[in-house]
Amino acid sequence: MFYLKLSFRNAFRHPLRAVLTITGVAVAILAFGLLRTLVGLWYLGVETSSSTRLVTRSSISLVFSLPVSYRERIRQIPGVKEVSMMNWFGGIYVSEKNFFPNFAVEPKTFLALYPEFIVDEGEKKSFLNDRRGAAAGSKLAAKHGWKVGDRIVLKGTIFPGEWDFVLRAIYRGAQRSTDESQFFFHWDYLNESLRKTVPRRADQVGIYMVGVDTPEKAPEVAQAIDATFRNSLAETMSETEKAFQLSFVAMTEAIMIAIKIVSYVVIVIIMVVAANTMAMTARERIAEYATMKALGFRWSHVAVTVFAESLLIALLGGTIGVLLTFPAANLLEKELSQFFPVFIISTETIYFQFAAAALVGIVASVFPVYRASTINIAEGLRRVG
């Protein structure tokens, strides 16, 4: 307790220096935590993917569609539990600033395949029975002030025109990591409109979502689906939902690696700054350390005092940085909701932040501890300034 009290007093002997050092550590730990969180959120879709869902798309590219007739043939393949259809719609609400993910789906099978989307039974029934009905995530509905029964108009980009919907259901996520910022409507509504306006684009599906009995059957079922349509006019590529999500993440892998590197560089920079501060402190207190030794304190006592001072400053800064991470994350969630619909500070990130703060304190104390514990008493007492 004596050494802790002494270290605390030494740490704040120069208040301005201590506050600036703690602030620097706090900012670095805050930046480190936010950067790690952004990287983690980029991979969140991969981590939350179901092991019992497959994605079947055109083997050429996602921009090419598949015939609607494939649905029943896929359903007949052994191991397939359910099949649903999905088209990326790409509609815009009011202005481009209000863009959000919107899809045309076959609602009954889609909701069966995605139990993480929880919908009130009454709203679900209303959504299924209304051809112009739509379902939106609770976060999206709250953002735009939507209520069940509201009329929503999306301006089509891939499918030109103004598309009129009635919000029949608002879903919530079974877990905090579930995306609640998406918008779904009936694939039949889109298809029937295309039959009247652009018949050549009708009866086409962007991707098929395939549910399998067990995760172990996924590779076998994927191969069977692709074999069924091999040498056809529209060959398929089937993969697990996780692999499908990874294909998108891989496009920005270099950016994610760069962000990770930057997060570690931030910590290294603050290590240098903190080490310089502690080195200055050690130089100023050479005479004091020599006096402590002359009074009978062992080198280990002096070393513990200096080490505790450095660690105390770093952990104080780290704690402040961790506490600031949560309001900063809430602010970023509002500003970046279009790109990161779910903004979660993981427990692992908090552990890493505290570990980084402790590492800063340990590394910064290495030279001062060595200097203080090895100082010669006579030399130290002769030192002035």
What's the maximum distance between 2 C-alpha atoms anywhere in the chain?
98
Half-sphere exposure of 303 (CA within 13 A, CB side): 12
Helix, strand, or coil here: 329? helix
Place of tokens 């030279």: 367
**38 has pLDDT over 70:** yes
Q: Helix axis angle, 299-335 relative to 15-42, nearest 10°? A: 50
Helix, strand, or coil here: 371? helix
**2 has pLDDT over 60:** no
158-181 confidence digits (pLDDT tens):
898 899 999 999 999 888 778 888
Say what the pLDDT of residue 244 is. 81
Closest CA to 140 of 345, 344, 331, 342: 342
pLDDT band at 68 (very low <50, low <70, confident <90, very high): very high
pLDDT band at 147 (very low <50, low <70, confident <90, very high): very high
Say what the pLDDT of residue 356 is. 87
- Average pLDDT, stretch 5-11? 66
Count of other CB atoms within 10 angstroms of residue 331: 11
> What does the mean pLDDT of the chain come to?
82
Alpha helices in the chain, H assignment, sequence order: 2-11, 15-42, 44-47, 70-75, 107-113, 121-129, 138-144, 187-197, 218-228, 241-249, 253-284, 286-294, 299-335, 347-374, 377-382
Amino acid at 369: V
Are the C-beta atoms of residues 101 and 87 closer than 8 Å to each other?
A: no
Q: Comparing 44-48, 77-81, 374-378, which segment has the lowest mean pLDDT? A: 44-48
**7 has pLDDT over 70:** no
Instruction: State percent of the chain over pLDDT 70.
Output: 79
* Dist. CA 225–CA 53, nearest whole Å: 13
Say what the pLDDT of residue 71 is. 93
Closest CA to 353 of 18, 43, 27, 21: 27
Say what the pLDDT of residue 384 is. 54
Q: Helix axis angle, 347-374 relative to 15-42, nearest 10°? A: 140
User: Which pair of tokens denotes residue 133?
Assistant: 């009905």
- Average pLDDT, stretch 254-277? 77
* Dist. CA 322–CA 233, nearest whole Å: 56
pTM: 0.72
- What is the separation of C-alpha 383 from the centre of its chain, rounded to a whole number of angstroms? 54
**157 has pLDDT over 80:** yes
Q: Comparing 17-26, 73-82, 192-201, 295-304, which segment has the lowest mean pLDDT? A: 295-304
Alpha helices in 285-382, H assignment, sequence order: 286-294, 299-335, 347-374, 377-382
Higher-confidence position of 275 and 200:
200
Q: Comparing 133-137, 152-156, 357-361, which segment has the lowest mean pLDDT? A: 357-361
**133 has pLDDT over 70:** yes
